[in-house]
Structure 1
Amino acid sequence: MTVLRSAAALAAVGVIAAATPAIAADPSPSAPAALPSGLYGSADPKYDGVWRQSLALLAQHTVHVTPATKAVDWLTGQQCADGAFAPFRAEPAKACDAKVMVDTNSTAAAVQTLKALGGQDAAVGKAVTWLKSVQNADGGWGYTPGGPSDANSTSVVIGALAAAGQQPASVVKGGKSPYDALLKLSLPCSGDGAGAFAYQPDKKGKLAANADATAAGVVGALGRGMVVDAAKADAGKKADASCTGSGKATPERAAVNGAAYLAKAVAKSGHLDSVLPGSTDQPDYGNTADAVVALAAQGGAGRAAKPLAWLEKNAAPWAKQSGPAAYAQLIFAAHATGTDPRAFGGTNLVKALDATGPAPQQAKAVAESGTRAEQSTSTKVWWIVGVGLVAGIGIGFLFSGRKKKQQP
Structure 2
Amino acid sequence: MIVRRSTAALAAAVAVLGAAVPAAAAPSPSPSAQLPDGLYGTGDPTYDGVWRQSLTLLAQTEQNVVPADKAVDWLTGQQCANGAFASYRPDPAKACDAKTVLDTNATAVAVQALGATGGHEEAAGKAVTWLKSVQNKDGGWGYNPGGASDANSTSVVVGALVAAGEQPDKVVKGGKSPYDALLTLALPCAGKDAGAFAYQPDKSGKLFANADATAAAVMGSLGEALAGTNAGDDKASPSCAKPGDREQAARNGASYLAGALAKDKHLMSSMPGAEDQPDFGNTADAVVALAAAGFGEQAAASAHWLESNALPWAEQSGPAAYAQLVLAAQAGGIDPRAFGGKDLVSLLNATGPAPAEAAESPSATPSETRKDKDDTDDGVSVWWIVGVGLVGGIGIGFLISARRKPQP
Structure 1 SS opposite 2:208? coil
Structure 2 SS opposite 1:273? strand
Q: What's the CA shift for 1:29?
A: 2.4
Q: What's the CA shift for 1:279?
A: 3.0
Q: 1:251 aligns with which of 228, 246, 255?
A: 246
* 1:174 has 2:170 as partner: no
Distance, in Å, in 1 between the alignment partners of 2:21 and 2:102 is 15
User: Equivalent residues in 2 for 1:116-155 (5 A)?
Assistant: 116-155=116-155
- What amino acid sits opposite 2:274 in the alignment? S
Structure 1 SS opposite 2:153? helix
Distance, in Å, in 2 between the alignment partners of 1:140 and 1:114 is 22
Instruction: Please state which structure has a larger fraction of its residues in helix.
Output: 1
Structure 1 SS opposite 2:284? helix
Distance, in Å, in 1 between the alignment partners of 2:120 and 2:24 is 28
CA-to-partner distance for each residue in 1:120-179, whole Å, 9 max, x for gaps? 011000000000000000000000000000000000000000010000011000000001
Deviation larger for 27-36 or 55-64: 27-36
Q: 2:325 aligns with which of 323, 327, 330?
A: 330
Deviation larger for 250-259 or 275-284: 275-284
1:16–1:152 contact (8 Å) kept in structure 2: no
Task: Tell me the residue number matched to 2:29.
Answer: 31
Task: Tell me the residue number matched to 2:337.
Answer: 342
User: Equivalent residues in 2 for 1:257-296 (5 A)?
Assistant: 257-296=252-291
1:27–1:44 contact (8 Å) kept in structure 2: no
Structure 2 SS opposite 1:94? coil
Q: What's the CA shift for 1:356?
A: 0.1
Distance, in Å, in 1 between the alignment partners of 2:141 and 2:23 is 22
Distance, in Å, in 2 between the alignment partners of 1:74 and 1:299 is 36
**TM-score normalised over the length of structure 1:** 0.82
Distance, in Å, in 1 between the alignment partners of 2:74 and 2:183 is 37
Q: 2:298 aligns with which of 295, 300, 303?
A: 303
Q: 1:237 aligns with which of 224, 235, 238?
A: 235
Q: CA RMSD in A?
A: 2.6
1:319–1:326 contact (8 Å) kept in structure 2: yes
Task: Tell me the residue number matched to 1:184.
Answer: 184
Distance, in Å, in 2 between the alignment partners of 1:116 and 1:4 is 33
Tell me which of the two structures has the higher relative contact order, counting C-alpha pairs closer than 8 angstroms and 6 or more residues apart.
2
Q: What's the CA shift for 1:6?
A: 6.4
Q: 1:353 aligns with which of 341, 348, 352?
A: 348
- What amino acid sits opposite 1:141 in the alignment? W
Structure 2 SS opposite 1:43? coil
Q: What's the CA shift for 1:16?
A: 7.3
- What amino acid sits opposite 1:243 in the alignment? C
Task: Tell me the residue number matched to 1:93.
Answer: 93
Q: What's the CA shift for 1:299?
A: 1.3
- Report the identity percentage: 66
**TM-score normalised over the length of structure 2:** 0.82
Distance, in Å, in 1 between the alignment partners of 2:6 and 2:98 is 19
Task: Tell me the residue number matched to 1:64.
Answer: 64
Deviation larger for 191-200 or 80-89: 191-200
2:22–2:279 contact (8 Å) kept in structure 1: no
Distance, in Å, in 2 between the alignment partners of 1:65 and 1:194 is 40
Distance, in Å, in 2 between the alignment partners of 1:25 and 1:153 is 25
1:139–1:176 contact (8 Å) kept in structure 2: yes
Go from structure 1 to structure 2 and tell me whether the alpha carbon gap of 1:195 and 1:300 turns closer, same or farther (over 3 Å shift).
closer
CA-to-partner distance for each residue in 1:269-305, whole Å, 9 max, x for gaps? 1100014444321100000000000000001422312
Structure 1 SS opposite 2:65? coil
Q: Count matched residues.
A: 355
- What amino acid sits opposite 1:288 in the alignment? T
1:25–1:326 contact (8 Å) kept in structure 2: no
Please tell me whether Structure 1 or Structure 2 has the larger radius of gyration of its CA atoms.
Answer: 1
- What amino acid sits opposite 1:253 in the alignment? Q
- What amino acid sits opposite 2:255 in the alignment? A
1:109–1:160 contact (8 Å) kept in structure 2: yes
Distance, in Å, in 1 between the alignment partners of 2:198 and 2:328 is 22
Structure 1 SS opposite 2:263? coil
